[in-house]
Amino acid sequence: MHSIFREYDIRGIFDIELNETIVKKIGYFLGKRVKKFGKYVAIGYDARLHSPTLFNWLTSGFNKAGVEVLSMGMVPTPVNYFSNYQEFDIEDKKITPSASVMITGSHNPPEYNGFKITIDKKPFFGEDIYKLGDEVVGSDIVIEDNEKYHFIDAKDKYIEYMNEKFSHISSLDKKIAVDCGNGVAGIVIEPIFNSLKLDFNSLYCEPDGTFPNHHPDPSEEENLKDLKEALKEADLGFAYDGDADRIAFLTKEHNFKGDELAIIFAKEIENPVVVGEVKCSGIMYEEINKIGKAIMYKTGHSNLKVKMKEVGADLAAEVSGHIFFADRYFGYDDAIYATLRVLELIKNGVDFDAQIAKLPKVYNTPEIKIETSEEKKFEIIEKLKESLKNPPADFPKIEEIIDVDGVRVVFEEGWALVRASNTTPVLVTRFEAKDKERAEYYQKKILEILDMIM
């Protein structure tokens, strides 16, 4: 069962790995940690069919630990994060949650589910999750059913907040298409757009945990087919993953990746400090450093949130569409909020297609994954670092090696990345250069070394 306790969250197959005994114990031992900061935990869940069952099991564990549960029902992950910054009326008292748990499988297949955890407004991840796993797996405590909770309307509070903060974009003269992939984005995006009197067309915005139309992962092009078709009639398109913490933004001309959005957002912030992951384009770092400061850091939403606070960043981004705003917001990844910031810039006259057209042209590959094992993946990265100290004679000239997360090898005309995934038994690679031929050359030379050491 240790495998469900991962770097950024807890995730596994419902009723096999995430079974009643394990989930109740997770709630109990997590509750003991929450009690150091207070006695209330806010819990929300996504559209997966088994999410309410996991809520009941988790609630029993928290109650056993003496922590009171605040249920927000079905909500997107950003609403769950949002609850940590709000006051709620509970039994004639105004309280702010000490922690939150989002029950979600994100973009995993329907049989998966999991928990994203925040304690004292900070992500609970890494060694903290691994230690929790040790306690859960090593304990034989028996936890009885106790599904008592208080309801909080975090969703309506979130909708009201967005309507107030973005009232100035009301009646924007653009036709918008939104594809929610039958995840939970629709339950907030539709009422917000209606309140703001936006002209929009909804695709698959009814939550359905079987995901009958397409998989809720907008980073995969095949999942954007219907949105692209809708763009024949619309000006702008937005798509979301299952729990709405990742965004895809499309025009008729371009599918904007997270690092491209970061460049455009940063240009509207005075002296911006921006944190990017190791997979972000070199162009992003170069462009932002012209107007502010760009910092390269580890992949992963928890890592980026922590780094943002450490350096006082205004913004952070992952290529996959996690966009984090501390500028005018709370510093977590929120695809709904990012959508409204895009629309705000368009209302203010920003032409996203023109902005991208001005950038230097480079070719970058999508993520290329190499299967390995949990035991070997980090060992391979260490061997690669050693091999690159004395590379083959025909290896391209190395300008710099960045090892903040795996190995990012900077060449004269581009870069190569090899990192171990923190969630699956694969190596993740990506390559960028001034043209396709050069990127493929870098790819070929890196893969030759990997073939020798794997």
Tell me the pLDDT tens digit for each residue of 74-124: 999 999 999 999 999 998 999 999 999 999 998 888 999 999 999 999 999
Q: What is the pLDDT of residues 196-222, one digit of tens each?
A: 999 999 999 999 999 999 999 999 999
> Which pLDDT score is estimated for 3?
85
From 315, 332, 357, give the residue that closes a domain: 357
From 357, 387, 409, give the residue that closes a domain: 357
Q: Please tell me which residue in 33, 50, 322, 408 is annotated as part of the active site.
A: 322
Residue 222 shares a structural domain with residue 112: no
> Which pLDDT score is estimated for 7?
85
Residue 133 shares a structural domain with residue 280: no
Q: Please tell me which residue in 51, 83, 98, 106 is annotated as part of the active site.
A: 106
- Please, which contacts does 132-137 make with residues 24 or more away whose CB atoms are closer than 8 Å? 132/5, 132/26, 132/29, 132/30, 132/33, 133/1, 133/2, 133/4, 133/5, 133/10, 134/2, 135/25, 135/29, 136/1, 136/5, 136/22, 136/25, 136/26, 136/29, 137/1, 137/2
Domain assignment present for residue 158? The answer is no
The H or E element spanning position 302 is: helix 301-311
Residue 319 shares a structural domain with residue 391: no
Residue 341 shares a structural domain with residue 285: yes
Residue 320 shares a structural domain with residue 215: yes
**Structural domain of residue 402, as residue ranges?**
363-453
139-166 average pLDDT score: 98
Residue 74 shares a structural domain with residue 218: no
- Check which CATH number belongs to the domain holding 432 and give it: 3.30.310.50
Q: How far apart are CA 440 and CA 432, in angstroms?
A: 9
Residue 202 shares a structural domain with residue 346: yes
> Which pLDDT score is estimated for 150?
98
Residue 139 shares a structural domain with residue 216: no
Q: How far apart are CA 445 and CA 154, in angstroms?
A: 51
Q: Is the alpha carbon torsion for 422, 423, 426, 428 positive or negative? A: negative
Residue 304 shares a structural domain with residue 175: yes
154-171 average pLDDT score: 97
Q: Please tell me which residue in 11, 246, 301, 438 is annotated as part of the active site.
A: 11
Residue 376 shares a structural domain with residue 351: no
From 108, 131, 153, give the residue that closes a domain: 153
- Check which CATH number belongs to the domain holding 26 and give it: 3.40.120.10
Q: How far apart are CA 274 and CA 259, in angstroms?
A: 10
DSSP 206-225: S--TT--SS-S-TTSGGGGH
Domain assignment present for residue 148? The answer is yes
Q: How far apart are CA 131 and CA 144, in angstroms?
A: 24
Whether residue 51 lies in the annotated active site: no
Whether residue 421 lies in the annotated active site: no
Whether residue 33 lies in the annotated active site: no
State how many domains the chain has.
3
Rounded to 10 deg, the angle between the 20-34 and 51-64 helix axes is 50
Q: What is the pLDDT of residues 292-331, one digit of tens each?
A: 999 999 999 999 999 999 999 999 999 999 999 999 999 9
pTM attached to this predicted model:
0.95
Domain assignment present for residue 159? The answer is no
> Which pLDDT score is estimated for 107?
82
Residue 377 shares a structural domain with residue 351: no
> Which pLDDT score is estimated for 9?
93
* List of residues 6+ apart from 430 with CB closer than 8 A: 279, 364, 365, 366, 367, 368, 416, 417
Q: What percent of the chain has pLDDT over 70?
A: 100
